[in-house]
Structure 1
Amino acid sequence: MAENPQPARYRPRTDILDLGDAFYDAVPAAAFPEHILRFRNDRAAAEVGIVAAADRTPAQAGVQRRVGPAAASVALDPRLRGDTERSISLSDAEWIDHFGRFTPLPASLPEPLALRYHGHQFQSYNPDIGDGRGFLYAQVTDHRDRLLDLGTKGSGQTPYSRFGDGRLTLKGGVREVLATEMLEALNVPTSRSFSLIETGEALTRGDEPSPTRSAVLVRLNHSHVRIGTFQRLAYERDADAMRRLVDYVLTRLYDQTPGSDPAIALFDEAVGRIATLAARFMAAGFVHGVLNTDNINLTGESFDYGPWRFAPTWDAGFTAAYFDHHGLYAYGRQPDAMHWNAMQLAVALRTVVDAPPLIAILETFPERYAKAAAEAVLWRLGVTPRTDADDRALADAVTTALARSRMPIDAFYHQASGGWLPEGEEWAAFEEVRARLSDYRPRSDRSHPYWSDAAPCSLLIDEVEAIWAAIADRDDWSLFDTKVAAIRRMGAALT
């Protein structure tokens, strides 16, 4: 992906309104005491037609800038700043107005919408959830003509907040920015952190030192329609609404024309996307931590990052969430968890279609996962695929060797990129990998300066905590800025 893409046209959308108000509740955004811009993703913004105002000086790496609290709302006048035939430009104050106070974007949604859904949480069904600290703020078309959602995290209470305060800790926001930047660089389908604004509240949390600083995050997703969205309709036995949702996903998200069996077509596409996401997690060494059905969307993007971690080595039992006492979502169990989640979508779709064709598609999950896993490993190795059998054998050899050797995952791929392995005793477990790689051609050369680095760009928990400690103790964002720039540099080398 280009670091500075040409800005797309700003093309607002309101497609979600076509589903009807049974799918959401209009809600107000919280009024925050402060608005301090901490992260502005100008690269992602350009892809939906939003650019920095000419009088704005980008910060180092072009991604993060701090400004003082704004005293008043600054309204965007599209006649002065842009229109739907070109990009619109936002100063930092205008950015804060739209992504901190949530003044509507021109011609997009007139008010925020908290989405309704249910979900299995650690495989226990919960009908009492929904957007509890976020909402859908706007919809836009990106540079590839895809519908995208701008959704929030930490934007205030909604009818689904239950006993929560509807807020997000600044640490949680910083961690989500880092996670999404790293996953994007590692070719994992993911939401993208669009904006992070510190909001000046002191929050109490039971799992970290309190009071702690607050923030509101805006993420860019292809959709916030989840497996749990379908589960709610099945729970309520609302077949008409289920058919509308199926049509919405097929036509707006998958760009397909509904045929005689639209629910079957949807499920077939969804299973492939969910299997691919699971495979990319494994190749990236990533542990999401909370793979509940309300956290799995129909476009196959990872999103809503809480207790995530990258595994230092290939350890099937490695977990990210301290509360995952039984390792349900441990690193090595993620493919099974995603298969189980796909099954819950099939159960929900039984509201509008018979079981046999759904079962037949569900049974293809292991095969689809195996194929996607091989593709993901070869991508990270930086080699061109050969035959399906060869690719799977190579991917299996890599996984076996990583598990046996306990070599750091990132170090292995950094050394092996392009199909070359060093000699030495520490590489003894990789002899089969070396032999199989001899038949492969590099996907690209190693001329990017990143490949001369002594160590790979990684994102293990100790570094994440160090980045946060600098912010918490000294309000020092230099480690954060440097890390985002380093991740993007690695992404450029991997492309």
Structure 2
Amino acid sequence: MPVSSSYSPAPRFAALGPEFGDPVSPAAFPETRLRFRNSRAAATCGLADLTDAEWLAHFGRLEPLPGQPGPIAMRYHGHQFRTYNPDLGDGRGFLAAQLQAEDGRLLDLGTKGSGQTPWSRGADGRLTLKGGVREVLAAEMLETLGVPTSRALSLIETGEALERGDEPSPTRSAVLVRLSHSHIRFGTFQRAAYLQRQDMLETLAGHARSLYHPHVAEGDVPGLLAAVRDASARLAAAWVAAGFVHGVLNTDNLNVTGESFDYGPWRFLPRYEPGFTAAYFDQFGLYAFARQPEAVFWALTQFAGTLRSLAPVEALTEVLNGFGPAYIAALRQAFLRRFGVVSAGEEADQALVDAALALLREGGDALRWEPLFFDWFGGFSSAGRALAGPRAQLYQGRTFDAFRAVLFEHAPDRPERLEVPVFQAAEPEEMLIDEVEAIWAAIDRDDDWGPFEAKLARLAAARDAYAFGPAARQRSEQ
């Protein structure tokens, strides 16, 4: 069998029944050229032993993996920029497989650019190679910074010339496969509520609770909402701490595990700018950087609304009222992780958040978002490094003194991390749009994948240096 002994198929979504998805067939592509293979992610779910030929078969031609029922285009609705759309669903992707990961959690293999489905709405169901490259870069950067995110597993160029209105055409095509712990969206529940299907809502709630929030008691719908609320608050806080702007926070782009996925017009902040937007079509800044917590909360209220037939409205409202405190607490924890320090108490932790934002605001264009966290990672253990670095002249004055004072109240968390070569560099790894465009230009112009591969290698080194992960997150949240 072309998988390792740790491969464990677990096709749970198909068991929900035909009301939740449609069997589909993948597109037949003219060619399959492997451009990115995430062997590290593959090792977590028994796929590391695939040969390149087998990899192309399963993730390029999308032949089903052993023990899987075949591709399913998931059905869902959603609010798109707060306008309800009942004509959604997987339009250029599908659920390809579900596996039991080595940590015991369920993993979805979802595609993007795999062809038309009943929900394509006249579109071609394809993904541009540029879009695939951008999604790989976004997921790798977010994982490096400790953000709960889907991971790009595979990117394969497919040899078609695509016409697009928002980039030079014809442009190259690709199919992406990502790993995520769930593709059950808020919009999946919205569809069941829209159809007034109590049975479907009960089935979905039980499915989400048992698979993704098993600590919640059976039948405890407010408890399920609270679990989704807390996961969503942690996600919004992690985006803000990372200086990340998702761009399209529609209710079909948020899921019940609080995991970021589906990266389109994303951006990372070049500097602190609360109104910074990622999508050119977000003309009113609905999903601007500082409005992301608000957007997540608004989407969460739509999710809660679908549960009204399953639980008392008062109980659901009480859970929703806890989002603000949950977000603030999560933001404090996210900033502690980003600075590599441990808690000094709620008041001091909040003071650190406020002081850091004040310093970033004062620094303007001169003090980019990511370098501040890099320079001062480890707290006082990095004082010599930061004050001798390229931004030393920015670290002076009253605002900086206030920041340094509150930062130094926090003890370093695992200061041995500073001994790795990553922290001997003058600059951190960033993912600003100019670099992203330069990486793509090398591919587009010369088919030169060197800058792309070099960037991924540097991100891997930074990820190992920061050592964000489940164990580290659990320590910081205790």
Name the TM-score, length of structure 2 as normaliser.
0.92
**Number of the residue aligned with 2:75:** 116
Consecutive unaligned residues in structure 2, runs of 5 or more? 468-478
Give the Cα–Cα distance (whole angstroms) in 2 for the partners of residues 104 and 275 of structure 1.
Answer: 35
Residue 143 (1) aligns with residue 102 (2): yes
Q: Is the 8 A contact 2:9 2:98 kept in 1?
A: yes
**Number of the residue aligned with 1:296:** 254
Residue 392 (1) aligns with residue 360 (2): no
Residue 285 (1) aligns with residue 243 (2): yes
Give the Cα–Cα distance (whole angstroms) in 2 for the partners of residues 296 and 201 of structure 1.
Answer: 30
Residue 443 (1) aligns with residue 403 (2): no
Q: Is the 8 A contact 2:348 2:409 kept in 1?
A: no
Shift of the alpha carbon at 1:257?
Answer: 5.5
CA deviations 1:290-332 (Å, max 9, x no partner) are 0000000111110000000000111001110000000000111
Instruction: Indicate which of 28, 37, 41 corresponds to 2:38.
Output: 41
Residue 488 (1) aligns with residue 448 (2): no
**Number of the residue aligned with 1:426:** 394
**Number of the residue aligned with 1:330:** 288
Task: Give me the CA root mean square deviation.
Answer: 1.1
Shift of the alpha carbon at 1:351?
Answer: 2.9
Give the Cα–Cα distance (whole angstroms) in 2 for the partners of residues 328 and 8 of structure 1.
Answer: 47
Shift of the alpha carbon at 1:397?
Answer: 1.4
**Number of the residue aligned with 2:137:** 178
Shift of the alpha carbon at 1:10?
Answer: 0.8
Give the Cα–Cα distance (whole angstroms) in 2 for the partners of residues 172 and 263 of structure 1.
Answer: 37
CA deviations 1:92-149 (Å, max 9, x no partner) are 01100001111111112x2100000000001111001100000000000111100110
Q: Is the 8 A contact 1:227 1:296 kept in 2?
A: yes
Give the Cα–Cα distance (whole angstroms) in 1 for the partners of residues 195 and 310 of structure 2.
Answer: 13
Question: Which amino acid in the other structure matches residue 132 of structure 1?
Answer: G
Equivalent position SS for 1:277: helix
Q: Is the 8 A contact 2:45 2:100 kept in 1?
A: yes
Give the Cα–Cα distance (whole angstroms) in 2 for the partners of residues 404 and 325 of structure 1.
Answer: 27
CA deviations 1:416-468 (Å, max 9, x no partner) are 11113445541233221101112211112210100000111101000000000
Question: Which amino acid in the other structure matches residue 369 of structure 2?
Answer: I
Q: Is the 8 A contact 2:276 2:288 kept in 1?
A: yes
Question: Which amino acid in the other structure matches residue 214 of structure 1?
Answer: S
Query: Pairwise mapping of residues 229-308 of structure 1 onto structure 2 (< 5 A)?
Result: 229-256=188-215, 258-259=217-218, 261-308=219-266
Instruction: Indicate which of 344, 348, 359 corresponds to 1:401.
Output: 359
Question: Which amino acid in the other structure matches residue 408 of structure 1?
Answer: R
Equivalent position SS for 1:11: coil
Query: Pairwise mapping of residues 193-208 of structure 1 onto structure 2 (< 5 A)?
Result: 193-208=152-167
**Number of the residue aligned with 1:92:** 52
Equivalent position SS for 1:90: coil
Residue 27 (1) aligns with residue 29 (2): no
Residue 103 (1) aligns with residue 63 (2): yes
Consecutive unaligned residues in structure 1, runs of 5 or more? 1-6, 52-88
Shift of the alpha carbon at 1:354?
Answer: 2.1
Q: Is the 8 A contact 1:280 1:376 kept in 2?
A: yes
Instruction: Indicate which of 311, 317, 334 corresponds to 1:353.
Output: 311
**Number of the residue aligned with 2:272:** 314
**Number of the residue aligned with 1:63:** none
Give the Cα–Cα distance (whole angstroms) in 1 for the partners of residues 156 and 101 of structure 2.
Answer: 23
Equivalent position SS for 1:120: strand
Give the Cα–Cα distance (whole angstroms) in 2 for the partners of residues 451 and 159 of structure 1.
Answer: 50
Give the Cα–Cα distance (whole angstroms) in 2 for the partners of residues 348 and 147 of structure 1.
Answer: 24
Shift of the alpha carbon at 1:194?
Answer: 0.4
Give the Cα–Cα distance (whole angstroms) in 1 for the partners of residues 425 and 217 of structure 2.
Answer: 50
Question: Counting helix residues as a fraction of each chain, which structure ranks higher?
Answer: 2
Give the Cα–Cα distance (whole angstroms) in 2 for the partners of residues 255 and 286 of structure 1.
Answer: 30
Shift of the alpha carbon at 1:400?
Answer: 2.0
Q: Is the 8 A contact 1:247 1:258 kept in 2?
A: no
**Number of the residue aligned with 2:11:** 14
Equivalent position SS for 1:271: helix
Identical positions, percent: 52
CA deviations 1:344-380 (Å, max 9, x no partner) are 1111111322211111010111100000001001101
Give the Cα–Cα distance (whole angstroms) in 2 for the partners of residues 255 and 105 of structure 1.
Answer: 27
Question: Which amino acid in the other structure matches residue 123 of structure 1?
Answer: R
Give the Cα–Cα distance (whole angstroms) in 1 for the partners of residues 254 and 193 of structure 2.
Answer: 17
Q: Is the 8 A contact 1:8 1:143 kept in 2?
A: no
Q: Is the 8 A contact 1:37 1:198 kept in 2?
A: yes
Q: Is the 8 A contact 2:216 2:223 kept in 1?
A: no
Shift of the alpha carbon at 1:221?
Answer: 0.4
Residue 192 (1) aligns with residue 160 (2): no
**Number of the residue aligned with 2:47:** 50
Q: Is the 8 A contact 1:276 1:373 kept in 2?
A: yes
Give the Cα–Cα distance (whole angstroms) in 1 for the partners of residues 206 and 108 of structure 2.
Answer: 18
